[in-house]
A = this chain, B = another copy of it.
């Protein structure tokens, strides 16, 4: 049944188990046709009759023939590869964006190669280099950790689309982002409607997306609650900021009655700290997250959060990348609308 492996496999790497991989020549010889005919048959191109095509395919199947992608892309001068650079595997936001990119890539017959930065700026950059060395025709970058100069330099060689906020203008690089100001507006409006006025913002990062969200929060507060000075905590020393917020809430007289956080991860930490300190949620404090990640439904109380259409953003990013590869030269920046998902971590303030 199973063909036994040869007693001592050669070390050269050239000959895999059970001898060499069959090539197009082997198939041609076995089928009694030219290699060109085989090439046409397996690529489903016209130039061979239906009968010979079928015959060739059958022989190929029998021999276990697999076309060598490298040889093909060598002669065609294109690889059909696109890259996606992730800052962090194991993050559901990235997973969902990736799913969108994958779907769009599959439709366009592009193969997706994943690069993984592991939350480390240097590694992220190395990984991007590695993708380029592999010969990707473009890269979707799901991270705001790549420095703009580097982005611009790489962008000159190969099309790039960033999912998320770009740190300022980067000529030659496209982007797709959610409208943070709209997300912040929905969060603040929701809290104000519930009756909150002492609303704080908590952030754990100084990267563009976070800063943008923070600015949007401040602006929204000023327009909806003029006279109230918007309170902002973070991004340095997140843990201390959380402790301080919890302390303020426990005073009850002047502390915030609601917190809009930079994302669900930060919100989860805040929820944990509150529960540890005996702060009752949502009675004493309403909390709004950002991302609508899978965390929201696992926490208690379940987290009210701003949802980004992640898969759609991924699709758009890849479509834009494909346009670039196709020759578009002018920059494009698109944004999508986020949407608030209300759960049980928000309620009217006491009294």
Contacts and interface: CB of A to CB of B under 8 A. Distances in A.
Measured as residues with beta carbon below 8 angstroms from the partner, the interface class of chain A is 35 or more
Contact of A74 (B7, B71, B88, B171): B71
B329 A135 contact: no
A3 B7 CA distance: 57
Interface stretch (A111-119, A215-223, A254-262): A111-119
Interface in A267-304: 268-269, 271-272, 275-276, 294-295, 297-300, 302
Contacts of A5: 156, 172, 329
A20 to B, nearest CB: 9
A114 B127 CA distance: 12
A69 B135 contact: yes
Contacts of A329: 5, 7-9
A327 B9 contact: yes
A152 B89 CA distance: 29
Nearest to A99: B118
A145 to B, nearest CB: 17
A79 B7 CA distance: 24
A161 B199 CA distance: 52
A249 to B, nearest CB: 16
Given A68-B74, A74-B68, A300-B275, A156 B118 contact: no
A169 interface: no
Contacts of A3: 156
A111 B78 CA distance: 20
A41 to B, nearest CB: 18
Given A5-B156, A299-B299, 19 more contacts: A2-B156, A5-B329, A8-B329, A13-B76, A13-B137, A14-B76, A15-B77, A69-B134, A69-B135, A71-B74, A74-B74, A90-B91, A99-B118, A113-B113, A114-B114, A114-B116, A272-B298, A272-B302, A298-B298
